[in-house]
């Protein structure tokens, strides 16, 4: 791959930066776009910014024009995602744009494309993912939620858990068992569900940050049109596996990490311990430098996947490599931040004494699930070992 961006791509990056400089103000008001605040007012402001991006055609610019895109390059789409993540812009429907949208383009019917893709491109809807269940996480193929055919409908019964954003979502893409007698990786179907369907209940899960991000979702005789089936019936495992590759291979994680590292570097310059700035301590300098290298590795891995997609290639082990690297990078960055901030790093954002707005106390706790969500680090290593290195399945 060519590591250089074209002049056109560089010009587009500057255009995006200029737009965000105007729309994402510095200072306290900027917090509403950092994904940290969850008040209705801040969510509404973030969603309005998403709609402004959609009016410029920037949310789905690499999609075909007939489905709301601009037919532009995958690299430009990644540049857009990188700049949004670096600024911490929330309210953007990443699950629609980067996950289910490409899956509908790849596997969906023409009716599904015409129905769902333009609405995602216009920023009108929010999607959530209905994969994990109380007894099915890493072993996702053991899921038990059932979808039973009844004429032109499926009747869905079961439960999903850890469903991020379900309380705000308009639609859910999910996997359900349509053939209970088939081997566990077969007999699963990939289905789109309107979150307003009768019989569907969302119950919040409050995490250790006292924040409402996760949810349980209950399906009680939920009737879904069979036209909402994506791909072939009983072969939804392969559709879901393809979606996981999109989920695991984004540019957002290293972009966010770069912004956080810059804040740490500035803190090290301004904060004195033992009569001298932290930035003059060789051990601190080496740790920050090592983190900069790790972030750049994650960025290049992500752009490698973008390059593959621009060539019509479907990444698989490459997505697992990115997921593994960036998940563990997030934890190492959180640990480094807590180490540099010392005891004050434990202060939460509401504390007037909290350095860096208390972000690292939140980040440290939030990073606990980074090596679990979207596939554990152990699962990623298994994929890399078996499919990438050709090693046998472990006992």
> Taking the model in full, what pTM does it have?
0.92
What are the tens digits of pLDDT across the range 152-207?
A: 999 999 999 999 999 999 999 999 999 999 998 999 999 999 999 999 999 999 98
Query: Which residues have a Cβ under 8 Å from the Cβ of 124 and sit 6 or more positions away?
Result: none
Q: What is the arithmetic mean of pLDDT over 210-216?
A: 90
Taking the CB of residue 341, how many other CB atoms lie within 10 A of it? Answer: 23
Question: Coil, strand or helix: which one is 127?
Answer: strand
CB burial of residue 291 (10 Å; 0-12, 13-18, 19+):
buried
CB burial of residue 369 (10 Å; 0-12, 13-18, 19+):
middle
Question: Coil, strand or helix: which one is 319?
Answer: helix
DSSP code of residue 99: I
Distance CA 53, CA 122 (A): 9
What are the tens digits of pLDDT across the range 290-300?
A: 999 999 999 99
Domain with CATH 1.20.140.10 in the chain: 249-388
- The CATH superfamily of 249-388 is Butyryl-CoA Dehydrogenase, subunit A, domain 3 (1.20.140.10)
Residue 294 known to be catalytic: no
pLDDT band at 4 (very low <50, low <70, confident <90, very high): confident
CATH 2.40.110.10 fits 128-235, yes or no: yes
Domain with CATH 1.10.540.10 in the chain: 7-92
Q: Which listed CATH number (1.10.390.10, 1.10.540.10, 3.30.56.10, 3.30.70.1050) goes with 7-92?
A: 1.10.540.10
Can you give the pLDDT at residue 287?
A: 97
Of 57-61, 94-98, 139-143, 312-316, the poorest mean pLDDT is in: 312-316
Distance CA 161, CA 353 (A): 36
Q: Which residue has the higher pLDDT, 247 or 177?
A: 177
Can you give the pLDDT at residue 154?
A: 98
Contact 244, 299 (CB under 8 A): no
Catalytic residue among 82, 247, 252, 294: 247
């Amino acid at each position: 791959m060519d590591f250089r961006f074209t002049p056109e791509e560089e010009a587009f990056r500057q255009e995006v930066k200029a737009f965000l400089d105007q729309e994402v103000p510095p200072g306290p008001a900027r917090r509403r776009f950092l994904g940290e605040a969850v008040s209705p007012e801040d969510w509404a402001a973030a969603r309005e910014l998403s709609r402004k991006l959609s009016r410029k055609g920037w949310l789905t610019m690499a999609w075909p024009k007939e489905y709301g895109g601009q037919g532009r390059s995958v690299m430009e789409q990644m540049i857009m995602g990188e700049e949004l993540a670096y600024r911490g812009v929330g309210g953007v429907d990443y699950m629609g744009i980067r996950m289910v949208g490409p899956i509908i383009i790849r596997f969906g019917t023409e009716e599904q494309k015409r129905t769902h893709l333009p609405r995602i491109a216009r920023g009108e809807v929010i999607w959530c993912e209905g994969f994990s269940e109380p007894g099915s996480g890493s072993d996702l193929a053991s899921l038990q939620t059932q979808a039973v055919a009844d004429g032109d409908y499926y009747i869905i019964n079961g439960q999903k858990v850890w469903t991020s954003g379900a309380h705000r979502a308009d639609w859910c893409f999910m996997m359900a068992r349509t053939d209970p007698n088939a081997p566990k990786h077969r007999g699963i179907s990939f289905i789109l569900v309107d979150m307003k369907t009768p019989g569907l209940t969302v119950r919040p899960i409050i995490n250790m940050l006292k924040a409402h991000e996760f949810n349980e979702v209950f399906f009680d005789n939920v009737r879904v049109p069979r036209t909402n089936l994506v791909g072939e019936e009983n072969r939804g495992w392969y559709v879901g596996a393809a979606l996981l590759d999109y989920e695991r291979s984004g540019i957002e994680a290293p972009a966010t990490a770069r912004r956080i590292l810059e804040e740490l570097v500035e803190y090290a310059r301004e904060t004195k311990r033992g009569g001298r700035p932290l930035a003059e301590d060789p051990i601190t300098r080496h740790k920050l430098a090592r983190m900069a290298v790790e972030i750049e590795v994650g960025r290049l891995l992500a752009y490698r996947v973008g390059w593959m997609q621009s060539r019509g290639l479907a990444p698989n082990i490459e997505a697992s490599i990115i997921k593994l690297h960036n998940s563990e990078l997030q934890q190492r960055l959180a640990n480094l931040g807590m180490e540099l901030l010392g005891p004050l790093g434990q202060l939460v954002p509401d504390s007037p004494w909290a350095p860096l707005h208390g972000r690292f106390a939140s980040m440290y706790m939030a990073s606990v699930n980074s090596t679990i969500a979207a596939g554990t680090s152990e699962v990623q290593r298994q994929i890399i070992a078996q499919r990438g290195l050709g090693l046998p399945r472990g006992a």
